[in-house]
Chain A
Amino acid sequence: ETGVTQSPTHLIKTRGQQVTLRCSSQSGHNTVSWYQQALGQGPQFIFQYYREEENGRGNFPPRFSGLQFPNYSSELNVNALELDDSALYLCASSTFQGPSSYEQYFGPGTRLTVT
């Protein structure tokens, strides 16, 4: 069984730039969720993708957007980066139906630093 993978591991960007983070879901999972974890905080839900469409969104502005591909992998795009976007970005995969949809398996994360 292949776990959740994310790339890149680390990234440094300048304020105002755009960034794309990538995630491959665990085998057998069809749903991908993205979370932002600021230093010293718990993860905050950004959004979830199922069948290539956004299925739920947290309190994040539209400059945070995503994609899901037919193979269930996903991208998180952030435009017009701000200093406060510096965080660990976590991708999690799950099934879609029933209680197991809340049982999410996380990747190692991408550490984004905005200067």
Chain B
Amino acid sequence: AQSVTQPDIHITVSEGASLELRCNYSYGATPYLFWYVQSPGQGLQLLLKYFSGDTLVQGIKGFEAEFKRSQSSFNLRKPSVHWSDAAEYFCAVGANFGNEKLTFGTGTRLTIIP
């Protein structure tokens, strides 16, 4: 079975500063990887996805993520955060077979300070 670890429960960043949210996964085969964002009381919005190919993927809202197989990581980055980026961020891995579902990490809450 696959699993996802987001080591940082809460991160605080100044507006305009760069951001990196960590995600590590455990899965025996080639993973499908996703980052979602959730604003308070809302559903999840897909930021970006990795299926195969180029290990640096671009998403919406200026986010990018890099897949590193050797480190089993899929970290999310943004060069300059905006106050509107304050939200909960979830990393997820999709299985290659069997029950087709996503397994989510526990999330990282991002706070932006002026």
Binding site for B on A (CB under 8 A): 4, 6, 31, 33, 40-45, 48, 55-58, 90, 92, 96, 99, 101-109, 111
Question: Scoring B residues 46 to 76 as 1 if CB is less than 8 Å from chain A, else 0, what string do you get?
Answer: 1001011000000000000000000000000
Binding site for A on B (CB under 8 A): 4, 32, 34, 36, 41-46, 49, 51-52, 90, 92, 94-95, 98-107
Q: Is the CB of A102 within 8 A of B32?
A: yes
Q: Which of A6, A41, A104, A107 contacts B102 (CB 8 A)?
A: A104
> How many Cβ-Cβ contacts under 8 Å join chain A to chain B?
67
Q: Which of A33, A101, A105 contacts B46 (CB 8 A)?
A: A105
A96 to B32 CA separation, bound complex (whole angstroms)? 15
Q: Is the CB of B107 within 8 A of A42?
A: yes
Q: Is the CB of B43 within 8 A of A90?
A: yes
Q: Is the CB of A55 within 8 A of B100?
A: yes
A24 to B102 CA separation, bound complex (whole angstroms)? 19
Q: Is the CB of A45 within 8 A of B102?
A: yes
Instruction: Give B98's nearest chain A residue, CB to CB.
Output: A56
A55 to B90 CA separation, bound complex (whole angstroms)? 24
